[in-house]
Amino acid sequence: MPASEHRFLIVSFDGLRPDLISPELTPNLWRLKAAGVTLENHRTVYPSETRSAFPSLVTGATSDRHGMVGNKYIDRAVTPSRYIDTSDAVLLRRLDIESGGRLYSAPSLGEILAASGRCLAVLATNTPGTTRLFHHKAEDFGHVRLSGHFREACTPNDLLDEIEARVSPLTPAQPKTEPDRIGQDWITSAFLDVVWPKHHPDVTILSYGEPDVTSHFHGTGAEATRSVIAHCDRQFGRVLDWWDTEGRRAGVQIFAISDHGHITGHTRVSVADSLRAAGFSPGLAPASDVDVVVVPGQVGALYLADPQEAKIARLVAIITSEPWCGPVFTRAKDEVNGIAAGSLSNRLVFANHVRAPDVAFSFRADDTIDSFGLLGGTFYDNDRRSGLGLHGGLHPKELAAVCIVAGSAFPNIGSVSFSPSGICDVTPTILHLLGVHAPPTMSGRVLGELVRPTASAELAFRGEIFEARLGSYGQVLRRVTVDDTTYVESGTAES
């Protein structure tokens, strides 16, 4: 089929660990594996947070290039500095307008498609901000962006009205303690009954916001989480049935993905208390009496009011003396080391954007087995009980992500690719198959081994290990490079 006739459907399962896919729990994802190619060594980016990972999906770039350095960050481009929570769709629209269209520091899929006369449609049940980040300029191009719950993230209004009349009205998001089934049903029906028949988008992103939320509030292997995984899989089964009867003939290629995995929090700590005991005045947002902002989240981000090198070094010395501290990154001193002793350069994890924190760290993770039999545990800093799902750091199970592809463009049916790949590779591959030029901001690669299975033998692999020490603290970062593309494999720390 000519490239111009290809269309693409990206179906995302937020926070789904690849090792939770099975014939019993997810028979429809298992059915896709039999019809396509499973990318066994697929990874997300650092930080392994949703609103860094999905921007990497649509820009084909790591956070140093697109600028979404975490779910939350401090904006120092204004005076005084301000705290940004990217879950807020209205705020993101305002930031994009204020910056002259530079919310992202790299062009995204929707913009690239629009420039070539094509369109991107988004249907999502994630937070309103995440939904916007999939296509933050959809209203500017007349493209479709729909939330299963949040009206402020939806465009165009007349299409939303039509779907509400034909499917059902939008329902408010349920409490986070309750698995979201209604939203997944709504976006699936909206795509199958209205968006596809009426618009035939060149690329569609159908993003199920589960099992991420339920994992956070019940546990990654809990019955409630497994139940909502099964429910999302049933909705995906409706999509697969459509693909078998109609989508294949229309040239639709499917990417089933997740944006990160989860590990389990086992020990609660307080970063702010540790810094306060050491003489700092920490806070959650910039203020006159705050000398270091501790951005809340499972990946640590510390912003100093006065980011002198000596103060950065002192911060690193304090946190690396704590049992909860994992890998630590500061701005580059040289190709490997950060400016603070014991830290690695944030360039090594592609986190050196102007919005990046002065000190970025992950909580210390390990290979303990949780109560559900799942590998991966970590220290954490929030007000929830232990035993719940977390992500953001550099444990392999946080970085591991789902990617299964199927369609006429991918001939090696029922196979497994063991070549390293990542979330940044999806958009370059789609653009390649559409015959659309990818901008130089993209750090991902075209997955040529999927399109031409013999090409996998031509790939050149190179492993890399980087280490840093400070007293009894030591950290190790592992990466792998495929040709000119580098993927972060893991980061560990120990005393």
> How does DSSP assign 367-424, residue by residue?
EEE-TTS-EEEEEE-SSSPSS-EE-SS--HHHHB--EEEESTT---TTEEE-S-EEGG
**Residue 188: C-alpha distances to residues 183, 211, 244, 299, 338 (Å):** 9, 16, 16, 32, 46
Average pLDDT over residues 299-315: 97
Give the model's confidence band at 1: pLDDT under 50 very low, under 70 low, under 90 confident, else very high: very low
452 three-class SS = coil
368 has a pLDDT exceeding 80: yes
- At 189-245, the pLDDT tens digits run 999 999 999 999 999 999 999 999 999 999 999 999 999 999 999 999 999 999 999
pLDDT of residue 242: 98
Kindly tell me if the per-residue pLDDT of 493 is higher than 60.
yes
Distance CA 1, CA 303 (A): 51
CATH number of 3-263+396-454: 3.40.720.10
Question: What number is the average pLDDT over the span 370-394?
Answer: 98
Query: Across residues 59-69, what is the average pLDDT?
Result: 98
Cβ contacts of 91 within 8 Å, gap of 6 or more: 84, 85, 129
pLDDT band, very low/low/confident/very high, at 174 (cuts 50, 70, 90): confident
What whole-number distance in Å separates Cα of residue 119 and Cα of residue 106? Answer: 18
Supply the pLDDT for residue 297.
85
Instruction: Give percent of the chain above pLDDT 70.
Output: 99
Domain locations along the chain? 3-263+396-454, 265-390
Type of residue found at 453? P
The structure tokens listed for 34 are 């039999």
What average pLDDT does this structure show over 40-51? 98
Q: What 8-state DSSP symbol labels residue 292?
A: E
Euclidean distance between CA atoms 376 and 388, whole angstroms: 11
Residues 6+ apart with CB under 8 A from 336: 344, 345, 348, 466, 468
Cα angle: 239, vertex 57, 428; to 5 degrees: 95
Residue 30 tokens, joined: 């298992």
Cα distances from 109 to residues 56, 91, 125, in angstroms, run 10, 21, 19
Distances (CA, A) of 446 to 33, 432, 482: 20, 7, 11
- Token pair belonging to 230: 């099964």
- Alpha-helical (H) ranges within 243-308 are 271-277
Contact between 303 and 77 under an 8 Å Cβ cutoff? The reply is no
Q: What is the pLDDT of residues 446-476, one digit of tens each?
A: 999 999 877 776 888 999 999 999 999 999 9
Residue 4's pLDDT band (cuts 50, 70, 90): low
User: Average pLDDT of the chain?
Assistant: 97
